Amino acid sequence: MKNYTILVLIVLMALNACKKESDNTTSKAIADEPASSELVTTEPTLDDFRLGEKWVWLEKSVAEGKIRWEGKELKEVVAFKGSLGFWYGKDTVLISNTLNQEQSSTPYWSWPLKVGKKWKYESEWKNAEGTPMTTSMDVEVVSYGEEAVLAGRFAAYKIEYKGTITNAIGGAADIHETYWYAPELKVNIKKVQDDGYGSYVLELYDYKKGE
């Protein structure tokens, strides 16, 4: 009986030591994980992409409660001109040509990304009829967390664009766009746009890792 009691005590001491080690490991893992406000994400480099990597999005445009059109967008990493390229279903461009592009003082996308970052986006362009248009939007990286899309659940930045589109004859419309950018996948996994007349949704449907 005495030997049995000693054996039980030894087992309990061992279990308690394992628990303490596990608790310490968990605490260290939590401490090592940066808070979203501290996380900074830079632009991907060419080395971050893999041959055969592929993304497929579903897109839908709705106006006055009716679907105007539905479709798919895709992007795949392929061998191209001695390097890697993005194939979009018809055209292919060198990935290196899409990276580190010179940004204006009011860019649409501003690296690096960090929660709380803000900037101004402005652009002058022409619509299908050739009418001069101006887009002016305030942009903010509002949060970082898990987002569910058709392809799965991914940690992503939520980025909001709010502003107006005006034309040369005085017409104006409010516009609101929201993106979810997933650093792990190096793409926007979701986009929702509302221009007051209709809405547009782009959502990642499938993702394939490369070689």
| pLDDT score recorded for residue 6 | 37
- Type of residue at 65: G
Burial class (CB in 10 A: 0-12, 13-18, 19+), 160: middle
| pLDDT score recorded for residue 168 | 81
- Do residue 93 and residue 193 come from a single domain? yes
- Do residue 14 and residue 50 come from a single domain? no
- Do residue 74 and residue 173 come from a single domain? yes
| pLDDT score recorded for residue 34 | 56
- Do residue 3 and residue 79 come from a single domain? no
Q: Which CATH number covers residue 146?
A: 2.40.360
pLDDT 10s per residue in the chain (211 long)? 434 333 333 333 443 444 444 444 333 333 344 567 689 999 999 999 999 999 999 999 998 888 898 999 999 999 999 999 999 999 999 999 999 988 899 999 999 999 999 999 999 999 888 889 999 999 999 999 999 999 999 999 999 999 999 988 888 889 999 999 999 999 999 999 998 788 999 999 999 999 8
For residue 83, give the 3-state DSSP assignment.
strand
- Do residue 3 and residue 101 come from a single domain? no
| pLDDT score recorded for residue 7 | 36
Distance between CA atoms of residues 106 and 134, nearest Å: 13
Give residue 68's domain range.
40-208
Q: Which of 206, 211, 208, 209 is nearest to 189 (CA)?
A: 206
- Do residue 100 and residue 202 come from a single domain? yes
- Do residue 8 and residue 70 come from a single domain? no
Distance between CA atoms of residues 207 and 74, nearest Å: 10
- Do residue 55 and residue 156 come from a single domain? yes
